[in-house]
Amino acid sequence: MALALVIAHEVDSHGCLFTERLLERGYEVDTHIVCPTYFEANESVPFPPFEGYDLIVPMGSIRSLTDTDAISSWVHDELDLLGECHEAGTPMFGICFGGQLLATALGGTVERAPEGEFGWCSIDGDGNPAGLGPWMQWHHDRFFPPAEAEVLATSPRAHQMFRLGRTVGTQFHPEVNRTHVAGWLGSSADEYLAECGLDRHQLLADTGANEEGARKACFALVDWFLDEVAFPEN
């Protein structure tokens, strides 16, 4: 049985629908929680050896690659490990912060976005295998993948998806369902949500309305990644 590693940077950044589809596709999935204490960014659990896994999935985070000092106990180790996996040809799919990690590990950059994106938004791209969405967005930073990468999807504010070899990164969140988003909202103060232009009740309602379509789209995206990027020979 193939073995996947989901890297959850906090307790609420698990793989959700992405993990669900991997399990349906016959994968055994391990989840490594980097920071088990939510607001202690540098209290981290050492990473397991990555070389034993057939697939790596780094997830989102409330942290930022524009302030690596705040996460110095683990972020440089993770970047090195992800870079080594890419060079070894291990398939990887990074989501939001995970996509930013992959862009950085492969030679790209991350910066604070002039404007963040929050809620259910459409994306563009002629060769976009994810479809136009809407997809969940929740990010203050944005990535610029390395020059040799193929940008597969964009929005007016950020690159949304890139591919380089067997590595794919997204800025949007394909993995979420209503329960997942409710957990994020439960950890967010009203003042912060207001700054982001979010109303918790409206976002939950929007998530419920988009949930079934988002599930189908996420499963299709996982299938595309497995069948066209990670293991096309199968």
- Order of strands across the sheet with 167-170? 28-33, 3-8, 55-58, 92-95, 167-170, 159-164, 150-154
Select which of 14, 139, 159, 173 is catalytic: 173
96 assigned to active site: yes
What crossing angle do the helices spanning 97-105 and 75-88 adopt, rounded to 10°?
70
Token reading at 166: 């067997």
Answer yes or no: 175 catalytic.
yes
Q: Is the omega angle on the peptide bond into residue 129 within 30 degrees of 0, that is, cis?
A: no
Cα angle 195-199-204, degrees, rounded to a multiple of 5: 135
CA 230 to chain centre: 17
Spot the catalytic one: 16, 175, 180, 218.
Answer: 175
Query: Which residue among 16, 35, 96, 218 is the active-site one?
Result: 96
Residue 195 bears catalytic tag: no
Burial (0-12, 13-18, 19+ Cβ within 10 Å), 115: exposed
DSSP calls for 2-47: -EEEEEESSTT---HHHHHHHHHTT-EEEEEES-SSTT-TT--PPP
**Catalytic residue set:** 96, 173, 175
